[in-house]
Amino acid sequence: MLLTWQSDCRQKKKTLPLCASAFHSFSESAPMINSRAIAMEALLAWEKSPEPLDQALEGIISVVALNDQRDRQLVMTLVYGVIRWQGYLDAIIQKFSRHPLSGMKPLTIAALRVGLYQLIFLDRVPESAAINETVQALKLARQPSWLTGFVNGVLRAMARQKATLPAPDEAAAVLSHPAWLVARWQTLFGPERARKICWTNNTLPPLVVRINSRRLSPDAYLTLLREKGLEGERGLFAQEAVQIHNFQGPVTALPGYGEGFFMVQDEAAQLITQLLAPFVKGRYLDGCAGLGGKTLHLAQLLPKGARVVAVEPSLKRQTLLKENLQRLGETKIEIHGLTLQEFAGQCQEKFTGILIDAPCSGLGVIRRQPDIRRQRSLAALPGYQGKQLELLATAAGLVEKGGLLLYATCSIEPRENEEVIASFLNEHPEFHLSPAQEYLPEAARGFCDRTGFLKTTPEQGLDGFFAARLRKTMNRAE
């Protein structure tokens, strides 16, 4: 399973900053690189990059010609797997190494993690291949023979004693989360739930799509999947959700991608948009549109004649947003390349419903984005809260009397959720909390607490989301 080194890597350095650093350990004269080498260098590049893992990894993969789709899948499996289980892997490596990890070169540590991950988690990879290909990756990087011999010896020792290695259980999953985060969750949820959340975060998330009901039904899409030899089933909670079971590869290769039959979106995220109900022929604003998952869902749910406006300041996200709108056939959505504050400063109208899917820590989606656990800190949480309150305050002035303001995050942290809503309502008495239960499918109503907030957590099998419906009073002067 070898990957061809592409000369255009050098040509893309100006447009792809990661390209220059992604292969820093490998000579440009090396004719071939194996999948383990790409995974190791991706891990090193990600540690130095401010980009999210999926973007960093895609940037690296894009400059290598993948001879086989299985190569791409192996690289992604190794990178995501190592990041998920890093603490657990390091604890085992340290037991078998006479040298502390703190004294090893980053490339050596990456090789040991990649090799051990294969030995423990990838049953279909022969032990000999896992070890030999990992060591070969170091040789391609022109590492000295003593170092390749050291890695080879440690990996073989672990392979011989594989049966005695500690199992990747809930305790190991906890070990692979930062201590501050585990302590925080133990305080919030109790030790047992905290362990379950950590374990779930270290498992592969399901592939869930939201069907574009303007083009076909969920059942029709399931039929299409079966015709292509794939397995799927209806979602448990969201009406337009389909879970796909046996697919490996890029989402663009799924049946119906080009035809705009679906959008990848977890069931919890699909439930959020439904909380803007009851849907009427009015004006709706997505104040933090991003790539447009919820924007598109909102347009799909609204009656004919309703108007949808999306605000997204990032040029990169705007481009992807427009691509998604075009693919799903929602070309009438208005897109403004402004911040919400800039948009509010020039907007002369009020909106029936506004969605603020606020930037947040993302602590509810670690299962899908395992790098988040390494890039967040307890000290950063108040900063998110400040930005979230600013967005809500700005949006409040754009809501018409009797209109709805929907606040959502992909976080399970109260400082970004309940505390934000409490502070907002204290400063904006013209709004009151509207319970979410009656606007959800019956199967999902159990996710609402007594206050009326929608709250999902990873151990429920969903991404961790929070949502609050805020209704603007009809008879209060603005």
Query: Which tens digits make up the pLDDT trace of 203-225?
Result: 999 999 999 999 999 999 999 99
The catalytic residue positions are 410
Distance from C-alpha of 204 to C-alpha of 145, rounded to nearest angstrom: 36
433 Cα distance to chain centroid: 29
| Cβ count near 66 (within 10 Å) | 18
Per residue, the 3-state secondary structure of 356-407, as one string, reads EECCCCCCCCCCCCCCHHHHCCHHHHHHHHHHHHHHHHHHHCCEEEEEEEEE
At 79-89, the pLDDT tens digits run 999 999 999 99
- Report how far residue 114's alpha carbon sits from residue 95's, in angstroms, rounded to the nearest whole number: 16
Q: Which of 203, 242, 209, 250 is nearest to 223 (CA)?
A: 242
pLDDT tens readout for residues 15-54: 333 333 434 444 343 444 689 999 998 999 888 877 788 8
Per residue in 147-181, pLDDT tens? 999 999 999 999 999 999 999 999 999 999 999 99
For the chain, domains (ranges, CATH) are 2-164 (1.10.940.10), 170-201 (no CATH), 207-264 (3.30.70.1170), 269-472 (3.40.50.150)
Query: What H or E segment, with its residue span, contains residue 408?
Result: strand 399-409
- More reliable by pLDDT, 8 or 456: 456
- For 416-448, what is each residue's pLDDT tens digit? 999 999 999 999 999 999 999 999 999 999 999
